[in-house]
Amino acid sequence: MTLDNPNIPEKIRAVATDGTQLRYALMELAATLPDIIALGRGDPDLPTPTHIVEATKAAIRDGRTDPTPVAGMPALRKAIAAKLHRENGLDVGVDNVIVTTGGQEALFLVMQALLDPGDEILVPDPRYTSYDDAILSAGARMVMVPTEHTDAFNLRPEAVEAAITPRTKALLIVTPSNPTAGIVTEDRLRAIAEIAVRHNLIVISDEIYEKFVYDGWQHFSIGSLPGMAERTVTLNGFSKTYSMTGLRIGYAAGPANLIEAMARIKAVTTGPAATVSQHAALAALNGPDEPLREFRRIYAERRRVMMDGLSAMGLDYSDPRGAFFLWTNSSSTGIHATELSYLLLKEGRVLIFPGTGFGENWGGYLRISYLQATDKIREALERMRPVIERYRVY
């Protein structure tokens, strides 16, 4: 599909193939308009659980604000290692964990520590384009691994192996996926692990949405498989799971030598993560599970409302097995996704990101989040319907 509507502002047209800049351009436009319902960004709207808020306040009140070791508080790293062993089956200790200023910093640190100019890294397509920025900043080259709607955007082992060249150093896995809401199933991960061992690849496994899977699907960590502990870096964080986006706390776990290299880079760039945020993260890991169960219940309800509403509009979407999104096939409208997002924003006052915000090949898709209250989601769907009907090309 082509973007050929001259009425779309040049500021948006100019960045139509730059995923990160396109998303920000749409958010900037939304900020100038009244009464917007935002279904774009992936920042949880639910309140941070009370026990985490209280732990953060107590850390400030008690003066526990001194800098920690660059890799993070030993107590927090120990708790993260215990969580990964207990829930993910990973054989890690304190020296295998680094605490970062959000999950995105963990991503940048691992790319800087691992990749050299000219290295190739396999990346599933579509993808969150911050991966692009992190990889390109290291001078490496991305090689896209295609995924398909009919396969729920699961990663196919044969596609991974077909993309490997003598320059391939690493493979990025994102499960559950942003933007597709797909997961990489255990059977596929086992086959991919065998490929990684055979070709001596490092696997970077982004699992930040692990707590949010639906309809009986299960999250599985590739680092738990035989031969993978020494070649897997697992990325995760607290922002999505515990609604702690503003506290900026994430982590990576992997081989001790790679974690040490990441810490050396962190020491001369950002230094240790904010101490109060680390105390909040420790409280999150040591606290009750009830808030997470309630979060999952709320997200599952919103997901169902969104699925029903999109289906009623005649819009198809891939099976949303995890995360907070519906990766919606908008090609039936006959309108390029960037144009459609612009029209939904200007005329419907609903902010949605086009598929081209997640890769240049996805002009027929929208990424729609459900991080709004259920009544707001219903209202957004009502606003979207007349816009879709007005501009749909039959």
Q: Are residues 236 and 321 in the same domain?
A: no
**60 lies in some domain:** no
**57 lies in some domain:** no
User: Looking at the 3D structure of the chain, how many domains does it have?
Assistant: 2
DSSP letters, 101-136, are SSHHHHHHHHHHHH--TT-EEEEEES--THHHHHHH
Q: Are residues 180 and 303 in the same domain?
A: no
- The pLDDT tens digits for 195-252 are 999 999 999 999 999 999 999 999 999 999 999 999 999 999 999 999 999 999 999 9
Q: Are residues 247 and 131 in the same domain?
A: yes
Q: Are residues 264 and 330 in the same domain?
A: no
**167 lies in some domain:** yes
**166 lies in some domain:** yes
Mean pLDDT of the region 281-308 = 98
pLDDT grade for 17, boundaries at 50, 70 and 90: low
Q: In what order do the strands lie in the sheet with 97-100?
A: 97-100, 250-253, 232-237, 202-206, 168-174, 120-125, 141-146
Asked if residue 48 has pLDDT above 60, the reply is yes
Determine the structural domain holding residue 385 and report its residue range.
Answer: 10-46+291-389
Q: Are residues 272 and 247 in the same domain?
A: yes
**344 lies in some domain:** yes
pLDDT grade for 293, boundaries at 50, 70 and 90: very high
**394 lies in some domain:** no
pLDDT grade for 292, boundaries at 50, 70 and 90: very high
Strands, E assignment, the chain: 37-38, 97-100, 120-125, 141-146, 168-174, 202-206, 232-237, 250-253, 316-317, 325-329, 350-351, 353-354, 365-369
CATH assignment at residue 377: 3.90.1150.10
End position of a domain, from candidates 286, 312, 328: 286
- The pLDDT tens digits for 163-206 are 999 999 999 999 999 999 999 999 999 999 999 999 999 999 99
End position of a domain, from candidates 286, 320, 339: 286
**51 lies in some domain:** no
- How confident is the model at residue 12, as a pLDDT? 74
Q: Are residues 357 and 302 in the same domain?
A: yes
| Mean predicted lDDT score pLDDT of the chain | 95
Asked if residue 62 has pLDDT above 70, the reply is yes
- How confident is the model at residue 393, as a pLDDT? 72
- How confident is the model at residue 312, as a pLDDT? 96
- How confident is the model at residue 22, as a pLDDT? 83
pLDDT grade for 391, boundaries at 50, 70 and 90: confident
- The pLDDT tens digits for 127-137 are 999 999 999 99
Amino acid in position 86: R
Q: Are residues 282 and 302 in the same domain?
A: no
**307 lies in some domain:** yes
Asked if residue 23 has pLDDT above 90, the reply is no
How far CA 356 is from CA of 7, 63, 158, in Å, comes to 18, 46, 25
CATH assignment at residue 128: 3.40.640.10
- How confident is the model at residue 2, as a pLDDT? 59
292-299 CB contacts, 8 Å cutoff, 24+ apart: 292/211, 292/241, 292/242, 295/44, 295/46, 295/211, 295/212, 295/243, 296/211, 296/212, 298/46, 299/212, 299/324, 299/370
- The pLDDT tens digits for 136-167 are 999 999 999 999 999 999 999 999 999 999 99
Whole-structure pTM over 0.85, yes or no? yes
Report the DSSP pairing between strands 141-146 and 120-125: parallel
Q: Are residues 16 and 128 in the same domain?
A: no
Q: Are residues 231 and 168 in the same domain?
A: yes
Cis, bond preceding 126 (omega within 30 deg of 0): yes
- How confident is the model at residue 7, as a pLDDT? 64
Q: Are residues 19 and 87 in the same domain?
A: no
Q: Are residues 157 and 210 in the same domain?
A: yes
End position of a domain, from candidates 245, 265, 286: 286
pLDDT grade for 1, boundaries at 50, 70 and 90: low
Q: Are residues 250 and 117 in the same domain?
A: yes
